[in-house]
Structure 1
Amino acid sequence: MSADAGKSGGEKPTPPREITLTYEEDSEMWVARDEDTGVASQGDTREAALENLDEAVAGYHGAGRSPTEQELRELGIDPKENESGELPDVLQ
């Protein structure tokens, strides 16, 4: 989570980020937004919103992995039919 930036343990500390954290009463969800990247995420709690934001920002910067064939099938995507590299409607 963002608050762990100064902890040791082999991980590189992350530079400070400006984050906006708001509570949306309509959806009863916390929304966290990284002001530098514009990436936003949400969660049932403040902590969950911040953890989800950390994961989303890492993905924005290229972290992550390609989905497995099983994960694509669970989304209703046939991996053999998605060879073009274009995003299917469900992911746009």
Structure 2
Amino acid sequence: MARADPGRTNGPDREIRLLKNPDGQWTARDLSVEVTAQGESREEALDNLDAVVAAVEGDGGHSPTDDEIRDLDVDPEVARTQEDDLPDILQ
């Protein structure tokens, strides 16, 4: 089931549009924050939407752990010491 988020996204004026697509996927759109997410079920679409809203509002995500970095076949020390600029998409 969808998580409750703090702040304006959990208030009584939060409006979400939920649609079942022709391919069977579900699309959830938060009309206040103006973001959209999809899932294979209604619950998954709503959970994904909550995660997107949290990320957009700065409440989501975390710095990767060394194990997560190693899972990508990258040395954590090298990853943290590179001085390359971020790609445009991440700036």
TM-score grouping bracket, smaller chain normalisation: 0.5 to 0.7
Output the aligned Cα RMSD: 3.2
- Secondary structure class of the residue paired with 2:27: strand
More helix by share: 2
Q: Does 1:29 align with 2:29?
A: no
**Separation of aligned partners in 2, 1:12 and 1:44:** 27
Partner of 1:46: 42
3-state secondary structure, aligned to 2:32: coil
Question: Which structure 1 residue ranges, 5 or more long, are not aligned?
Answer: 6-10
Aligned-partner residue type, residue 30 of structure 2: D
The structure with higher relative contact order (CA 8 Å, sep 6+) is: 2
Matched residue count: 82
- TM-score, reference length from structure 1: 0.63
Q: CA separation of 1:22/1:86 partners in 2, compared to 1, >3 Å: closer, same or farther?
A: same
Q: Cα offset for 1:74? A: 3.2
How far has the Cα of 1:59 moved from its partner?
Answer: 1.0
